[in-house]
Amino acid sequence: MSEITVKKSVTIRRSIAEQIEERAGAGGFSSFVDAAAEHWLALLKAREIVEDYEQANGPLPEDLLEEVRREWHGE
């Protein structure tokens, strides 16, 4: 079952639109933007989780941050 979609009008820079169309084709534009927005929201949520943790417990230990960096980069 797919989610209900909504049509929105947005304004973006021409250079960005052209790059999206080069990669996704004109027909894949909406899907590309939807996936990019979903990715950005996931990053914002992750940042909020870290900020909440640090507010309650102090800064994340540097060794843990380094481990996460290595995993992020596939090392």
C-beta separation of 52 from 44 below 8 A: no
Amino acid, single-letter form, for residue 26: A
Question: HSE (CB half, 13 Å, CA atoms) of 17?
Answer: 7
DSSP 2: P
pTM of the complete model: 0.76
pLDDT in tens, 28-65: 999 999 999 999 999 999 999 999 999 999 999 999 98
Residue 1 — very low, low, confident or very high, per pLDDT cuts 50/70/90?
low
